[in-house]
Amino acid sequence: MHPITSTSASSAAAMNSSPHWQQQLLKADISRQSASPHHHARAAALAARSATSSAIAIQDPTKGGAIHVPRMAANGLHVSNSGSSLKKQADLSSDESDSSGKDGQSWTTIDMGGLGLKNIAKELYRYTFLTSLFINHNALTSLASDIVQLRHLTILDVSGNKLNSLPPELGMLTSLKELFLFDNNLVTLPPELGTLYQLETLGIEGNPMQENLRQLIQKEGTQALVAFLRDSCPVPLPPPEREWITIEPDLGNREGEDEPEAPAESFNVLSYNILCDRMATPQMYGYTPSWALSWEYRKEFILQEVMSYGADICCMQEVASEQFEEYFLHHLSQQDYEGIFSPKTRARTMREEERKLVDGCAIFYKSSKYSLVERQLVEFNQAALRRPDFKRTEDMFNRVMTKDEVAVIALLENKESGSRLIVANVHVHWDPEFRDVKLVQVAMLMEELEKIGERFAKYPAKLDVKEGYPPAPHYNNGNKIPTILCGDFNSMPGSGVYEFLSKGKLKGDHEDFINHVYGDYTANGLEHGQAMKSSYAHIGELPFTNYTPHFEGNLDYIWYNSNALAVTGLLGEVDSAYIDKVVGFPNAHFPSDHICILSEFRVKHPKDGRQRTGFGSANRLNGK
């Protein structure tokens, strides 16, 4: 088909190269022996026969009976052991084919090798469930960009063709572990391949490759070459600015009120998991250029983003103790913000240097608009310990007490109107295997919020309101106080956490408790008295707030009590055309794996009137 590197040259390279390169040369030789039609399919069938000591025919996958093959086919190349039946190109347009990627898909490999193909039918890319694709030893001169649809591929073999270039869209196939490009006409590689962070073997032998690329992989291996491509990849164009969505507020029926009407009172809230530096490792975010993953780059970007929105209240999660004091509070205080912060509970038992690295939750508020009346900290493992009904349950000790997440709560008062605001910021436990713990943490937080609200409602009203405002509002119970609960809940809209917050109750046998026992919570179910609603429920929630190659979903929310607040605006989603071209966050334009969310609210003043007489400033907690 085309010249192949001589055996003597390959032997000389092997003698002076790394074990990784020697292994690549071996795989290249195996590839050259795989030029016959459907070689991999026949090898899989042979391996299956050897394993079962009986003849097994390759069957039509649309009629069931898929072959289960071992991890290694007879030719020495990896083959998925999830079960593989192989189709010929002529079958690709069949209406009987299942390209839906449903659970239970019995075949995940297609072998069209050695057929002399000059083009690949577009129908191939309908099979989005494929994990292995062999189109080696054909006469292909290019690969279609449509290959981007095969996001589940772990093996792609295009060896022995006539490829002069590769589509940059290959970089979107982040599940790839083996990419065989042996014996083509490739001189260089698209830098977009730098996002293939799981790639174990990049087979380039037999190509007239640029010397610097060849030497790098010969000496240091595939991962070194991928890292070089990743860090040298040009920065793509930034996405359009996220649109601001105006919401018509539901202010309720105010007719019949004989109290003076207060001027319209609005505020906006930003919530942002900023990805703590300690957690932003190359092992976790191997698709991100090293310079874009560095804290020096990300912290400036985060700060600029927060300041650009100018929210009245900014709630951040995963803020390291050191970064709160020395960076964020320092800079935001120059922009009219004051802030409170608490690290995770583990910080209590650490030395000073270690404590600086512990992350927690921070609330910043505009000091020209709000006074801090009081701050509260909820440590979930300590709150659980105080519950008598938990003390007799092993699950509380083994599952809840071992987690050290916290919530920070600020009790604020508007300096002009005297209206009050409760803001809670939380980072709920992350692990999907501990959905029960998420529920328990949120349930305890809601209980604490209700207690705090009842106490806050009893504080005397502010006396010195700004001219033009009626007397400061009086709250006859805590539920009347505008309340914001925001953060990273690590829970999707269909979760028990979301259902509990939005509906106000949850059955004790809900599946998210995973049959664990938590006293009254599982005996009688969960319940709270706040009319909580997610601000983004007005648009059906965002497509995602967390975006990585292995996860895309909504985890972050701004909840509010709808009897006291109305949503008037939301920061919209990230441009979908941009998302189609990036594998995940963080990247050059998004400094965290989460995006920030921003909501604007209008205060609904309580209908039971406004306090006309106060108790004197001497009785007030803050004297303001």
- The predicted pLDDT at position 360 comes to 97
pLDDT one-digit tens code per residue, 518-531: 999 999 999 999 99
Write down the residue that tokens 């000389």 correspond to: 12
Q: How does DSSP assign 537-586, residue by residue?
A: GGGT--S-SEEETTEEE--EEEEEETTTEEEEEEE-PPPHHHHTT---SS
Q: What is the topology classification, in CATH, of domain 7-91+103-232?
A: 3.80.10
- The predicted pLDDT at position 568 comes to 97
- The predicted pLDDT at position 252 comes to 67
Name the residue type at position 149. Q
- The predicted pLDDT at position 271 comes to 98
Q: Is the dihedral of CA 241, 242, 243, 249 positive or negative?
A: negative
The answer, yes or no, to whether residue 81 has pLDDT greater than 50, is no
SS3 string, 149-181, reads HCCCCCEEECCCCCCCCCCHHHHHCCCCCEEEC
Is 265:603 a contact under the CB 8 Å cutoff? yes
The answer, yes or no, to whether residue 583 has pLDDT greater than 70, is yes
Helix axes 496-503 and 435-457, enclosed angle (nearest 10): 20
Write down the residue that tokens 């956490």 correspond to: 497
**pLDDT (average), residues 357-366:** 97
**pLDDT (average), residues 585-596:** 98
CATH match for 244-619 among 3.60.10.10, 2.60.40.10, 3.40.50.2000, 3.30.1490.20? 3.60.10.10
pLDDT one-digit tens code per residue, 151-203: 999 999 999 999 999 999 999 999 999 999 999 999 999 999 999 999 999 99
β-bridge mates for residue 600, sequence order: 268, 569
The answer, yes or no, to whether residue 94 has pLDDT greater than 50, is no
Q: Calculate the CA 299 to chain-centre distance.
A: 19
pLDDT one-digit tens code per residue, 423-442: 999 999 999 999 999 999 99
Q: Where are the domains of the chain?
A: 7-91+103-232, 244-619
Confidence of residue 14 (pLDDT cuts 50, 70, 90): low
Poorest-pLDDT segment among 49-63, 127-141, 585-599: 49-63
Pairing status of strand 359-366 against strand 597-603 = unpaired
Name the residue type at position 124. L
What are the distances in angstroms from CA 234 to CA 43, 168, 193, 369, 588?
A: 41, 12, 12, 43, 10
Active-site annotation holder among 183, 488, 512, 556: 488
pLDDT one-digit tens code per residue, 369-416: 999 999 999 999 999 999 888 877 899 999 999 999 999 999 999 999
Confidence of residue 204 (pLDDT cuts 50, 70, 90): very high
Q: Which residue has the higher pLDDT, 460 or 97?
A: 460
pLDDT one-digit tens code per residue, 38-75: 999 888 888 888 766 544 444 443 334 333 333 333 33
Q: Is the dihedral of CA 170, 94, 38, 75 positive or negative?
A: positive
The mean pLDDT of the chain is: 87
- The predicted pLDDT at position 15 comes to 55
Burial class of 398 by CB neighbour count within 10 A (0 to 12, 13 to 18, 19+): exposed
- The predicted pLDDT at position 249 comes to 85
Length of the chain: 624
Is 45:56 a contact under the CB 8 Å cutoff? yes
Other beta carbons less than 10 A from residue 62's beta carbon: 15
Percent of the chain whose pLDDT exceeds 70: 84
d(CA 208, CA 554): 46
d(CA 116, CA 135): 10
d(CA 425, CA 343): 12
Confidence of residue 253 (pLDDT cuts 50, 70, 90): low
Q: Is 488 a catalytic residue?
A: yes
